């Protein structure tokens, strides 16, 4: 801690975070089954997944409020599993901010320093500094009920950062903000996190938020991480069916090679596989389907203008397909039009129908399971 130095927010204190084998059983919180996660120095990892997937449970374990059945949490290699929450030095921003309603903004931000028995004058200087950084320097005398949602958010962030936390945890920090504010604050948080080199875990249920802010995205489902990779890879090479479906909007098209979509699925993978493709799930993102050329004949069932693009719903035989088409093309399509379409085989994502794991096809047309991916139950999930 650099009392009075010129650059007090150089957070050399940021630590590496390791979670090993976290297991929490069903109870008042969502269960987690043997979760492992490492967040490097100054890295931002987003935990993303549907509600009940265990992401908040994982945060609760890092803070120490949730006692696991098994598992350890390490800060910079030191096991802190048994340490009380107040001794872990964590910064935390709650979804609803949890600002102390009976204290002024100044008292709120100073509270962690008071708890650490920091000398008052120095504490006040720290408060002024972080409040300036967060743009709430002019609000210090106010009380929480006099603040807007965005201002409360900044106060909560200032309170989390003022003690120079070893790890910063953000639990859905944007979900209570208006849509336009959300993008703005998201960018601010990312800029701040990069400046301060904070080791950060960011929990959200919004896949686009996770993609936009994180160094790596951890997709969670049913109490475990089913994909952990850089945002771009997650999108272009989803390691599992669940993450392919969860990431990307509009959602990826998925057809099984066995069942009602059999005809279409087998036809599009024909150039790739030799064995006919039994037991596979075929996925293609809506923007990877070409319209106007090709051998497949489809019928337009609905067009939705989304602004720059149109989302066009088509049917091919019994199968339906969503296609993203540029607006200038999309506006000419009408209900019941017959259109030609084409799917470039290299754009296809293949998954094992039983396990949900990504399947790669080698040059000889043979299947190979993607070893880097973890399965997530395939169709069952």
Applying CB under 8 A, which of residues 115, 187, 232, 278 lies at the interface with other proteins?
A: 115
Q: Say how many Å lie between the first and final Cα of the chain, rounded.
A: 48
Residues sharing a CB contact under 8 Å with residue 100, sequence separation 6 or more, in sequence order: 107, 108, 111, 144
Query: In angstroms, rounded to a whole number, what is the distance separating the alpha carbons of residues 192 and 157?
Result: 10
CB of 247 to other proteins, least distance (A): 28
CB of 146 to other proteins, least distance (A): 8
The 224-229 sheet, strands edge to edge:
90-93, 167-171, 200-204, 44-48, 216-221, 224-229
Query: In angstroms, rounded to a whole number, what is the distance separating the alpha carbons of residues 377 and 380?
Result: 6
Task: Examine residue 176 and tell whether it contacts other proteins (CB under 8 A).
Answer: yes
Q: Is 208 helix (H, G, I), strand (E, B) or coil?
A: helix
Dihedral over alpha carbons 101, 102, 107, 113 (to 10 degrees)? -80
Applying CB under 8 A, which of residues 25, 96, 195, 275 lies at the interface with other proteins?
A: 96
Q: Give whichever of 96 and 297 is closer to other proteins, judged by the CB atom.
A: 96
Q: Give whichever of 90 and 220 is closer to other proteins, judged by the CB atom.
A: 90
Task: Examine residue 180 and tell whether it contacts other proteins (CB under 8 A).
Answer: no
Q: Give whichever of 163 and 358 is closer to other proteins, judged by the CB atom.
A: 163
CB atoms within 10 A of CB 180: 8
Task: Examine residue 145 and tell whether it contacts other proteins (CB under 8 A).
Answer: yes
Q: Give whichever of 49 and 64 is closer to other proteins, judged by the CB atom.
A: 64
Task: Examine residue 99 and tell whether it contacts other proteins (CB under 8 A).
Answer: yes
Q: What does the angle CA 6 – CA 10 – CA 13 come to, to the nearest 5 degrees?
A: 135
Applying CB under 8 A, which of residues 13, 29, 98, 254 lies at the interface with other proteins?
A: 98
Applying CB under 8 A, which of residues 23, 38, 63, 320 lies at the interface with other proteins?
A: 63
Site for other proteins in 195-224 (CB under 8 A): none
Applying CB under 8 A, which of residues 9, 75, 111, 235 lies at the interface with other proteins?
A: 111
Query: In angstroms, rounded to a whole number, what is the distance separating the alpha carbons of residues 255 and 296?
Result: 15
Taking residues 239 to 278 in sequence order and writing x for each that binds other proteins by CB under 8 A, - otherwise, the string is: ----------------------------------------
Query: In angstroms, rounded to a whole number, what is the distance separating the alpha carbons of residues 48 and 204?
Result: 5
Q: Is 59 helix (H, G, I), strand (E, B) or coil?
A: helix
The DSSP code for 240 is B
CB of 100 to other proteins, least distance (A): 6
CB of 321 to other proteins, least distance (A): 40
Task: Examine residue 49 and tell whether it contacts other proteins (CB under 8 A).
Answer: no
- Can you say how many angstroms the Cα of residue 232 is from the centroid of all Cα atoms in its chain? 12
Task: Examine residue 84 and tell whether it contacts other proteins (CB under 8 A).
Answer: yes
Among the residue ranges 95-103, 214-222, 280-288, 359-367, the one whose residues contact other proteins (CB under 8 A): 95-103
What DSSP string runs through 81-95?
TTS-GGGS-EEEE-T
CB of 125 to other proteins, least distance (A): 18
Q: Which long-range contacts (CB under 8 A, 24 or more apart) does 94-97 make?
A: 94/156, 94/171, 95/171, 95/172, 95/173, 95/175, 95/176, 96/176, 97/152, 97/153, 97/155, 97/156, 97/176
Contact 140, 127 (CB under 8 A): yes
Residues sharing a CB contact under 8 Å with residue 363, sequence separation 6 or more, in sequence order: none
CB of 172 to other proteins, least distance (A): 11
Task: Examine residue 152 and tell whether it contacts other proteins (CB under 8 A).
Answer: yes
> Residues binding other proteins: what is the number (CB under 8 A)?
34
Applying CB under 8 A, which of residues 116, 230, 278, 302 lies at the interface with other proteins?
A: 116
Q: Give whichever of 32 and 113 is closer to other proteins, judged by the CB atom.
A: 113
CB of 35 to other proteins, least distance (A): 21
Binding positions for other proteins, rule: CB under 8 A: 63, 65, 84-92, 94, 96-102, 111-112, 114-116, 143-147, 149, 152, 159, 163, 176
């Amino acid at each position: 801690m650099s009392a009075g130095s010129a650059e007090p927010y150089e957070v050399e204190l940021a630590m590496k975070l390791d979670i090993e084998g976290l297991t929490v059983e069903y109870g008042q919180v969502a269960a987690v089954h043997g979760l492992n996660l490492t967040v490097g120095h100054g890295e931002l990892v987003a935990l993303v997944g549907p509600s009940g997937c265990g992401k908040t449970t994982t945060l609760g374990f890092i803070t120490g409020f949730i006692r696991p059945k098994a598992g350890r949490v390490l800060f910079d290699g030191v096991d802190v599993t048994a340490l009380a929450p107040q001794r872990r030095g964590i910064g935390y921003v709650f979804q609803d901010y949890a600002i102390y309603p009976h204290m002024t903004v100044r008292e709120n931000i100073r509270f962690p320093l008071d708890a650490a028995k920091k000398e008052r004058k120095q504490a006040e200087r720290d408060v002024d500094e972080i409040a300036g950084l967060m743009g709430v320097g002019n609000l210090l005398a106010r009380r929480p009920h006099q603040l807007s949602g965005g201002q409360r958010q900044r106060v909560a962030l200032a309170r989390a950062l003022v003690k120079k936390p070893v790890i910063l945890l953000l639990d859905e920090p944007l979900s209570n903000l208006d849509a336009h504010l959300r993008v703005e604050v998201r960018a601010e948080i990312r800029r701040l996190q990069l400046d301060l080199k904070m080791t950060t875990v960011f929990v959200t249920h919004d896949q686009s938020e996770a993609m936009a802010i994180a160094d790596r995205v951890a997709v969670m489902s049913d109490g475990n991480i089913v994909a952990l990779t850089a945002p771009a890879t997650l999108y272009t090479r989803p390691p599992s069916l669940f993450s392919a479906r969860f990431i990307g909007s509009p959602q990826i098209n998925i057809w099984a090679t066995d069942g009602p979509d059999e005809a279409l699925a087998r036809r599009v993978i024909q150039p790739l596989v030799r064995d006919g493709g039994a037991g596979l799930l075929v996925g293609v993102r809506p923007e990877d389907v070409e319209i106007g050329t090709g051998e497949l004949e489809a019928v337009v069932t609905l067009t939705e203008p989304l602004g720059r693009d149109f989302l066009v719903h088509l049917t091919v035989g019994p199968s339906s397909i969503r296609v993203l088409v540029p607006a200038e093309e999309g506006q000419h399509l009408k209900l019941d039009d017959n259109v030609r379409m084409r799917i470039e085989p290299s754009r296809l994502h293949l998954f094992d129908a039983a396990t949900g794991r990504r399947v790669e096809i080698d040059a000889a047309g043979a299947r190979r399971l993607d070893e880097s991916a973890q399965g997530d139950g395939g169709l069952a999930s």
